[in-house]
Amino acid sequence: MEAYAAELTKRTGIPITSADLKKVLGALACAKEFWHITHLSGRPFNVVAESLKFFAERGWVKVENQHLELTPAGRKLVDEQGIKPPIESGCKACNRRGISIERWQDLLNRFKEVVAERPLPIIDYDQGFVTEETTVARIALMADRGDIQGKDLLVLGDDDLVSLAAGLSGLPRRVVVLEVDERLVNFIRQVAEKENLPVEAHIFDLVHPLPAELRRQFDTFLTDPPETLEALAIFIGRGLSGLKGAGCAGYFGLTRAESSLTKWRAFQAQLTGQFNVVITDIIHDFNEYVNWDYLLESVRNDLSFVQTWPRYNWYRSAMFRIETVDDNFFRHEEEMKGAPLYEDQEALIFTRRFRKEQ
Amino acid sequence: MEAYAAELTKRTGIPITSADLKKVLGALACAKEFWHITHLSGRPFNVVAESLKFFAERGWVKVENQHLELTPAGRKLVDEQGIKPPIESGCKACNRRGISIERWQDLLNRFKEVVAERPLPIIDYDQGFVTEETTVARIALMADRGDIQGKDLLVLGDDDLVSLAAGLSGLPRRVVVLEVDERLVNFIRQVAEKENLPVEAHIFDLVHPLPAELRRQFDTFLTDPPETLEALAIFIGRGLSGLKGAGCAGYFGLTRAESSLTKWRAFQAQLTGQFNVVITDIIHDFNEYVNWDYLLESVRNDLSFVQTWPRYNWYRSAMFRIETVDDNFFRHEEEMKGAPLYEDQEALIFTRRFRKEQ
């Protein structure tokens, strides 16, 4: 497998290890749909796509009706290499989160009502929202850790409408949303006014530093950043800039589909080093995203098995919780106009480079 | 609260922030037992003990029948500061783990049978084992991530008897245990022989580097280290020394009771920096420990509320999963005789310094 990994790395310019190939083969042993294989293998979108294309060329995988299947040769390889599929053991009661929304059913029902008319995701801002259950699970998680009740909450980017769920819960003292999309800001304002929630929303692009009156004002921040290293540093750095001091918390999602573990490692080193915060939780697959309308338009169209509509919500992210251990943490207060927020070699949206213009 | 935190820090020599005091006060609003308060506040044993002692001196807390309760003055303070208790939202079906042992019931039953006669924890090696459910949940977690089936597993220290649960699951190809306690090595050998498991156990002190024949031989390691920074680096570093290369995994527990978040942060910076590995999971309270016989003998005896037998398994640790992203990671192969494995200012066992000799 080492030689194959080296060949693929050379061909694609993306670092791919034999361990990556084995993860994709292991996923193939129990899944047929590209999106399911991507989810199960925990490898970036493009690593999975390139590996499957390579396997198909070698005759280890065949594509039929846009589905993928190991050939007898592929099955032999999997056996020889001793590759076994994962044994699914996630808790079904809490959808693997460890946090239950059972006691939050009233909030879930109210939240579903108020967001029924929400604005739909658009490609310009890398949008795509999580299920209502996920949004409420975020409230439950913050409440479980004492990070929302009686607290001031800053939400940076809010296509998930966490601010409204927080407001409806009656727990936070104040919620401030900074959001670049005017449609969302208007929607949040309308609902907040109608429901009399302590939620304010402002049109704001995070390439700019937080305005002075929002610095050091919050106990907790929550964001779901685009996943270039630059965007991660900016979004989390702005969140930290809003926090009061020691013992405050930040929450954000990070995917495996758009970020390699190499990128994860680099960002974790930055968090615990330069940023001087601690990671208290990384909850696998906590955030479940609703398949967004523009998915197939945004991804490569040179592979038939990619151009297939997913049958379940395959796109997940791990939920990170960070905490400030003292007052001496990084606050990102530089102007960052022109920073590459949305595109790198691993991010989904970048696969536009593989699209044939029609 | 800042002034109180500064006073306590000065008095105890342990860094204590106002956020720590608020966490303890928040826990006091819904718990009366010292061990419960320690668990809920997520703060080190000694920080909680010193804070409670301080609160009692100030008249904010009264101690009755070894239980703690906020006085009217304490309640007023909590209200004034806007401190709210956590809202427990953990999933009861999986005991907060996100990983279910439902499909692993047969393994759990078999495991309980074979470990019925296990050696009991002794203080010499900082022992204390997890519940049988926790051990089986570890197998389920590894299986869910594809880290045990068909794999070679290295277990460093095994009072939890994970090696036997792994062997009984029929999943791993080979399991090797290195353990300093001869009683445990003999017990594991006896069961492995009787049950014909692919498990071998050796008496070994991890202050020594892994023998050459065990280096670069394993896909996965698991350990539950003592929690000084030195011990963490040695145990995890030895585990890494056993791993084959990229895409291998390591599992270990880390508590809040014996390690401050400052220590967590320092160790995470070491993992993602010098060690060059990524943290893929941190699962809050995954590991539940059975209260060990020597608990009250090992902790301070100058505070009546500490000298009370816990009514539930209060001692928990978060489960970390790390993964190697390439072959270029730290392998600890130095001799470390005399390293301070078991005692630092935060570790439970260190509280012997507070014991009055009788």
- Report pLDDT digits (tens) over B232-249: 999 999 999 999 999 999
Q: Within an 8 Å CB–CB cutoff, is residue B140 touching chain A?
A: yes
Nearest to B91 among A15, A98, A282 (CB): A98
Q: Which pLDDT does position A39 carry in this prediction? A: 96
Q: Is the pLDDT of residue B190 over 70?
A: yes
Task: State whether A100 and B87 contact (CB < 8 Å).
Answer: no
Helix spans in B32-116 (H): 34-41, 45-58, 72-80, 105-114
Q: Within an 8 Å CB–CB cutoff, is residue B244 touching chain A?
A: no
Instruction: Give residues 11 to 70 of A whose Cβ lies within 8 Å of B.
Output: 15, 17-20, 22-23, 26
Task: State whether A269 and B264 contact (CB < 8 Å).
Answer: no
Q: What gap in Å lies between CA B320 and CA B282, rounded to an integer?
A: 5
Query: Which residue do the tokens 């790395």 mark?
Result: A9
Q: Which pLDDT does position B356 carry in this prediction? A: 57
Q: Is the pLDDT of residue B358 over 50?
A: no
Q: What is the mean pLDDT of residues B134-148?
A: 98
Taking the CA of residue A162 as centre, how many other CA atoms within 13 Å lie in the half-sphere pointing to its CB? 33
Query: Which residues does A217 contact at the CB level (< 8 Å), separation at least 6?
Result: A152, A154, A176, A242, A244
- Topology adopted by domain A2-80: Arc Repressor Mutant, subunit A (1.10.10)
Q: Within an 8 Å CB–CB cutoff, is residue B284 touching chain A?
A: yes
ipTM > 0.90?
Answer: yes
CB B283 within 8 A of CB B319: yes
* Positions of CATH 1.10.10.10 in chain A: 2-80
Of B191, B200, B179, give the one whose Cα is nearest residue B124.
B179
Q: What gap in Å lies between CA B199 and CA B140, rounded to an integer?
A: 18
Q: How confident is the model at residue B353 (pLDDT cuts 50, 70, 90)?
A: low
CB A97 within 8 A of CB A286: yes
Q: How confident is the model at residue B120 (pLDDT cuts 50, 70, 90)?
A: confident
Which residue is closest to A41 within chain B, CA to CA? B145
Q: What is the mean pLDDT of residues B11-35?
A: 93
Q: What gap in Å lies between CA B54 and CA B50, rounded to an integer?
A: 6
End-to-end CA distance of chain A: 36
Q: Which two tokens stand for residue B226?
A: 């003592």
Share of chain B above pLDDT 90, in %: 85
Q: Which pLDDT does position B340 carry in this prediction? A: 74
Task: State whether B278 and A284 contact (CB < 8 Å).
Answer: no
Nearest to B88 among A23, A144, A280 (CB): A144
Counted across chains A and B, CB pairs separated by less than 8 A come out at 197
Q: Which pLDDT does position A358 carry in this prediction? A: 43
**Side chain identity at A3, as an amino acid letter?**
A
Q: Within an 8 Å CB–CB cutoff, is residue B94 touching chain A?
A: yes
Instruction: From chain B, pick out residues whose CB is under 8 angstroms from the CB of A152.
Output: none
Q: What gap in Å lies between CA A252 and CA A74, rounded to an integer?
A: 38
- The torsion region of residue B312 among left (phi > 0), alpha (psi -120 to 50) and beta comes to beta
Instruction: From chain B, pick out residues whose CB is under 8 angstroms from the CB of A96.
Output: 98-99
Q: Which helix (H) or strand (E) holds B153?
A: strand B152-156
CB A179 within 8 A of CB A125: no
Of A130, A201, A202, A197, give the one whose Cα is nearest residue A169.
A197
CB A206 within 8 A of CB A340: no
Inter-CA distances, A28 with A34, A58, A62, B178, Å: 9, 15, 11, 35
Instruction: From chain A, pick out residues whose CB is under 8 angstroms from the CB of B24.
Output: none
* Cα dihedral A268→A272→A274→A277 (10° resolution): 120
Q: Which two tokens stand for residue A62?
A: 């065949």
pLDDT tens column, B273-330 = 999 999 999 999 999 999 988 888 888 889 999 999 999 999 999 999 999 999 999 9
Task: State whether B92 and A100 contact (CB < 8 Å).
Answer: yes
Q: Which two tokens stand for residue B97?
A: 């783990």
CATH class name, domain A102-354 = alpha beta
DSSP 3-state assignment of A280? strand
CB A55 within 8 A of CB A61: yes
CB A149 within 8 A of CB B87: yes
Q: What is the mean pLDDT of residues B78-85?
A: 95
Query: Of B349 and A219, which is predicted with more confidence?
Result: A219
CB A113 within 8 A of CB A132: no
Which residue is closest to B21 within chain A, CA to CA? A247
Task: State whether B98 and A98 contact (CB < 8 Å).
Answer: yes
Q: How confident is the model at residue B12 (pLDDT cuts 50, 70, 90)?
A: confident
Task: State whether A173 and B82 contact (CB < 8 Å).
Answer: yes
pLDDT tens by residue, chain A, 358 residues: 899 999 999 988 888 999 999 999 999 999 999 999 999 999 999 999 999 999 999 999 999 988 999 999 999 999 999 999 999 999 999 999 999 999 999 999 999 999 999 998 887 777 789 999 999 999 999 999 999 999 999 999 999 999 999 999 999 999 999 999 999 999 999 999 999 999 999 999 999 999 999 999 999 999 999 999 999 999 999 999 999 999 999 999 999 999 999 999 999 999 999 999 999 999 999 999 999 888 888 888 899 999 999 999 999 999 999 999 999 999 999 999 887 777 777 766 555 555 555 4
* Positions of CATH 3.40.50.150 in chain A: 102-354
Q: Which pLDDT does position A272 carry in this prediction? A: 98
